[in-house]
Chains A and B, each alone.
Chain A
Amino acid sequence: MAALLLFISVSKKCVKCKEAPAALVIRAGDAYCRLCFKDFFVHKFKAVLGKNRIIFPGEKVLLAVSGGPSSCSMLRQVQEGLSQKANKKLRFVPGIAYIDEGAAIGQSVEERQRTVAELQAVFQATGFPFYILPLEQVLDLPASVVATNPSPSEQPASAYKAAVGHFVETDGSNNFPTPQEPKKMLLPHVQESHTLQQLLGSVKTLTAREELLNTLRQHLLVHTARTEGYSKLMLGDSCTRLAVKLLTSISLGRGAQLAQDTGFSDSRYGDIILVRPMRDYSAKEIAYYNHLFTVPSVVIPSVDTKTVDKASIQRLTESFVTKLQADFPSTVSTIYRLQLHTCFMHISTLNILGTCVLQVFSASCPSLTVKPSTCVTQDQREAAECMYEMVRSRALRPMSAVSVQPGYCCG
């Protein structure tokens, strides 16, 4: 935790209350005491949700928690925001989803169980319902759920007000979940773990493997949200993470999808909206907060933890941004300021694969001058082809006929 060494000596006063001694410096000149930092941090979370008015009172929201610092911090923010004593209380109904990717990174059953047990304790303490999902489950998704469902209806500003009114009338408090018995994770069959490993192993480059893993993870999350009746999926991407993602997307030739990959909300799945409330926090701020307010997190190795910097485009970009950030502290916020509106293409539907792969490959994009062969990157194509092969050879159940919807794909 080299970052924490930056905690400053007590001589300086907090810039906010101008009384208490400063406990930390976020940026040059911004020294905060412990309590003011907490206010600042908590306020930012509520402000971003309030400003965007995307989560309705009483709505069921699934929090995707990976166990890393950022998503664990997000979980804490939701807990804080929902507590009775909070002013400007958050008013949605949360649940937690954790995806166990142990098989993808070659962990033993014991290792996987240990991590799960650790997180289970954290989740149980929140009192929120939670789902612990081995990634292998993505192989069993029924045909109908991975399809892109149309968005239920337009939700104008007035709908938000109506929802607030309804929430107040019905006394939102009884909507809150009661603590429940923890669900035991059903460990996947050895055969399923093997199939997943085979699928990931069939993708030649690490760059493509990471893309595929992302896609599988996202789909299991969206699927779970749908079947459990959640309409929003909250992701814990910090602004540091998003800056890396943005630059990675550009380097992979996915410039056209940037808005979807890194925006505050993402409606590519139609009925399930992805929300990224942590996007205004840097990794450093989160590390400070978690340290000062003892937010637990679990270190989970990722698919490329063991490899060198130049193993994949994602990995290379991450180390590049980290180094640049050290030399030019405004790097992350600058990259991330690029909020680009883009025509995102069929790639998200391509993710779902199965028969749609063929459609994407043969149909040309309805409203763009770019042909599909050029809007799909090499890795996406490679991942898609591998998956399609597996479907054909019946190693994998066909996933569904997802059509590329015009309007939607280039909207």
Chain B
Amino acid sequence: MPVQCSSCSEKRAVLKRPKTGHSLCKECFFWTFEEEIHQTIVSAKLFKPGESVGIAASGGKDSTVLAHVMKVLNERYNYGLELMLLSVDEGITGYRDDSLETVKRNQQQYELPLKIVSYEELYGWTMDAIVKQVGLKNNCTFCGVFRRQALDRGAIMLKVGKICTGHNADDVAETVLMNVLRGDIARLRRCTAISTDSENEGVVPRCKPLKYAYEKEIVLYAYFKKLDYFSTECIYSPNAYRGYARTYLKDLESVRPSSIMDVIHSGENLSVREGVKMPVQGTCSRCGYISSQKLCKACVLLEGLNRGLPKLGIGKHHRFHDKILSQQPLTEEEERKLKAVDF
């Protein structure tokens, strides 16, 4: 027997919402999903009228749904935002070149301007070339650090005042768990924030309109809307620890669907005991990007790549910063330590 939509009681339900268990028809699901994101945006005051906003677009499901919903809501509720797509080309053959094709099609479909910044133009290195030098073990350190800066630089080139990213509820919950497992108090405190405000020059504020949207619902939305997205995972696999957190979260969700929200709720309500030292943020003396050290992580990684010492940026090597800054050569002993990459 067909189940009726519990919202309009007219049409046939086509799905059961993972978040609430309600049976909904297609139209009611779209409306509820979009409305929840609108509520998130309004209650967290994510945007100001007239603002220009860059949507970080990777061609994957999250950012495709984000771009679509942002455009819909901007028109429906007159946010008055000037939306743009912003993509980073890491230079990964067979992954990024294909997903960028998707972004280019999205640009046409949504009629939004698109800016692509590449690792190659920013750093002189593609991810493929980096992996060739550092191997598959530590490549995500590079990938993460470089992408963060690349988005900022792209946003500055586009002159947008804000970047929104496609992080969903599962991502946020996973990050809370990750930071608990790593005992990283500073990050734990920051990771549930829906937006970052920027007191630092050279860093564009970011926000996560999909923070409370379940991954499963994003997939359903993209599926029923027949959105055009690229569904292959990064071929340079993510780190093992995140994998553990992800599996654990999926298991929690299968015991109890509200777990994702529960974890986020916990993260939001944690406060750190007084006296826990938070790192002081300064700026990188080479590129001006925010950094708690003399040199930012990207500059150290880059220096390592250029000197053929890939381990320089992995782990803690603050003591080399002065030498790098003054362009001094490293001793043979130091070089030997930093060269070896264990596969």
Question: A residues touching B (Cβ–Cβ < 8 Å)?
Answer: 205, 207, 246-247, 249-256, 258-259, 310-313, 316-317, 320, 324, 328, 331, 334-335, 337-343, 370, 374-375, 377-378
* 4 tightest A-B CB contacts, nearest first: A255-B266, A253-B262, A341-B273, A256-B269
Does B42 belong to the interface (CB within 8 Å)?
A: no
On whether A256 and B266 interact (CB within 8 A), knowing A310-B255, A316-B251, the answer reads: yes
Which of A331, A338, A377: most chain B Cβ within 10 A? A338
Q: A250, B271: Cβ atoms under 8 Å? A: no
Cα–Cα, bound, A246→B179 (Å): 13
B265/A253 in contact, CB under 8 A: yes
A251 → B minimal CB distance (Å): 5
Q: Is the CB of A254 within 8 A of B252?
A: no
> Are the C-beta atoms of B262 and A342 separated by less than 8 Å?
no
Given A341-B271, A341-B273, A370-B269, are A250 and B255 also a contact pair (CB < 8 Å)? no
- Point out the residues of chain B lying under 8 angstroms from A259, CB to CB: 273
B39 to chain A, nearest CB (A): 15
Give the B interface residue count (CB, 8 A): 31
Neighbouring A residues of B262 by C-beta, 8 Å: 251-253, 377-378
Q: Collect the chain B residues with CB atoms within 8 Å of residue A247's CB.
A: 177, 180
Bound together, the chains give a CA A328 to CA B181 distance in angstroms of 10
In the assembly, what is the distance between CA of A256 and CA of B267, in Å?
A: 8
Pair A335/B181 contact, Cβ less than 8 Å:
yes
Nearest chain B residue, comparing its CB with the CB of A328 = B241
Evaluate whether A251 and B252 lie within 8 angstroms (CB atoms) in the complex, with A337-B183, A338-B180, A377-B262 already known.
yes
A16 CB to nearest chain B CB (Å):
27
Chain B residues, Cβ within 8 Å of A378: 256, 258, 262
One of A251, A324, A331, A343 near B259 (C-beta < 8 A): A251
Q: Are the C-beta atoms of A338 and B256 separated by less than 8 Å?
A: no
Chain A, Cβ-Cβ closest to B249: A251
Q: Give the contacts of B290-312 with A (CB-CB under 8 A).
A: none
Q: How far is the CA of A250 from the CA of B259 in the complex (A)?
A: 9
Question: Min CB distance, A385 to chain B, in Å?
Answer: 16
CA distance A251 to B254 in the complex (A): 13
A250 and B176 contacting across the interface, CB-CB below 8 Å: yes
B185 at the interface (CB under 8 A from A): yes
Residues on B with beta carbons closer than 8 Å to the beta carbon of A335: 180-181, 183
B127 at the interface (CB under 8 A from A): no
CA distance A33 to B267 in the complex (A): 43
Contact, CB under 8 Å: A313 / B259: yes
- Whether a CB of chain A sits under 8 angstroms from the CB of B261 is yes
Query: A-B pairs with CB below 8 Å: how many?
Result: 93
How far in angstroms is the closest Cβ of chain A from B326?
36
Residues in B lying within 8 Å of A, measured CB to CB: 176-177, 180-183, 185, 188, 241, 244, 248, 251-252, 254-256, 258-259, 261-263, 265-274
Residue of B nearest to A344 (CB): B269
CA A399 – CA B119 in complex, angstroms?
A: 66
CB of B256 within 8 A of CB of A339, answer no
* Of A254, A310, A313, the contact of B266 (CB 8 Å cutoff): A254
A324 touches B244 (CB 8 A): yes
State how many angstroms separate the Cβ of A327 from the closest Cβ of chain B: 8
Q: Which of B183, B251, B265 contacts A374, CB < 8 Å?
A: B265
* A378 → B minimal CB distance (Å): 6
Q: What are 24 residue pairs bridging A and B, where the CB atoms are less than 8 Å apart in the complex? A: A205-B256, A246-B180, A250-B263, A253-B262, A253-B265, A255-B265, A255-B267, A255-B268, A255-B270, A310-B251, A311-B255, A313-B252, A313-B256, A320-B248, A334-B182, A338-B188, A340-B273, A341-B271, A341-B272, A342-B269, A342-B270, A342-B271, A375-B269, A377-B262
- Which residues of chain A are near B273, meaning CB under 8 Å? 259, 339-341
Residues from chain B with Cβ under 8 Å of A311 in the complex: 255
Bound-state Cα–Cα, A339 to B180, Å: 11
User: What residues of A have a CB within 8 angstroms of the CB of B259 in the complex?
Assistant: 251, 313
Q: Is the CB of A250 within 8 A of B183?
A: no
Q: A251-B263, A334-B183, A342-B271 are in contact. Are A207 and B255 (CB under 8 A)?
A: yes
Given contacts A252-B262, A255-B267, A255-B270, 5 further A-B contacts (CB under 8 A): A250-B177, A255-B265, A255-B266, A259-B273, A343-B269
CA distance A370 to B252 in the complex (A): 24
Distance in angstroms from B205 CB to nearest chain A CB is 22
Contact A320 B180 (CB under 8 A): no
Contact partner, A312, options B255, B266, B270, B272, Cβ 8 Å: B255
Contact A253 B274 (CB under 8 A): no
Residue of A nearest to B176 (CB): A250
Q: Please give, as numbers and ranges, the residues of chain B lying within 8 Å of A343 by CB-CB distance.
A: 269, 271
Given A310-B255, A316-B251: A334 and B181 within 8 A (CB)? yes
Most buried by A among B183, B185, B241, B255: B255
CA distance A312 to B261 in the complex (A): 17
Q: In the complex, are the beta carbons of B255 and A313 less than 8 A apart?
A: yes
Point out the residue from B183, B241, B251, B269 that lies within 8 Å of A338, measured CB to CB: B183
CB pair B252–A256 under 8 Å, yes or no, is no
Q: Which residues of A contact B263 (CB under 8 A)?
A: 250-251, 253
Q: In the complex, what residue of chain A is closest to B192 when comparing beta carbons?
A: A255
Contact (Cβ within 8 A) B180 A256? no
For the complex, what is the distance from the CA of A256 to the CA of B192, rounded to whole Å?
14
Chain A min CB distance to B90 (Å): 28
**A375 partner residues in chain B, CB cutoff 8 A:** 269
Q: How far is the CA of A374 from the CA of B267 in the complex (A)?
A: 13
Q: How far is the CA of A312 from the CA of B259 in the complex (A)?
A: 12
Separation in Å of the B55 CB from the closest CB of chain A?
30
Bound together, the chains give a CA A378 to CA B272 distance in angstroms of 25
**Which residues of A lie under 8 Å from residue B272 when comparing CB positions?**
340-341
> Shortest CB–CB separation between residue B234 and chain A, in angstroms?
23
Known contacts A251-B259, A331-B181; A316 and B252 CB within 8 A of each other: yes
Question: What's the nearest-Cβ distance from chain A to residue B239, in Å?
Answer: 12
Whole-angstrom distance between the alpha carbons of A306 and B87 in the complex? 51
Which A residues touch B271, using CB under 8 A? 340-343
Given contacts A247-B180, A313-B255, A320-B248, contact A341 B266 (CB under 8 A): no
Contact partner, B256, options A207, A255, A334, Cβ 8 Å = A207
Q: Which residues of A contact B256 (CB under 8 A)?
A: 205, 207, 313, 378
Q: Which chain B residues border A331 with CB–CB below 8 Å?
A: 181
- Tell me if B252 and A255 are in contact (CB < 8 A): no
CB distance from B87 to the nearest CB of A (A): 34
Determine the chain B residues whose CB is within 8 A of the CB of A340 once the complex forms.
Answer: 185, 270-273
CB distance from B288 to the nearest CB of A (A): 33
Give the contacting residue for B261; candidates A207, A253, A256; CB below 8 A.
A253
Partner of A341, one of B176, B177, B241, B274: B274
CA distance in complex: A331, B182 (Å): 8
Q: How far is the CA of A253 from the CA of B257 in the complex (A)?
A: 12
Q: How far is the CA of A313 from the CA of B263 in the complex (A)?
A: 12
In the complex, which of the residues A251, A317, A335, A339 has the most CB atoms of chain B within 10 Å of its own CB atom? A251
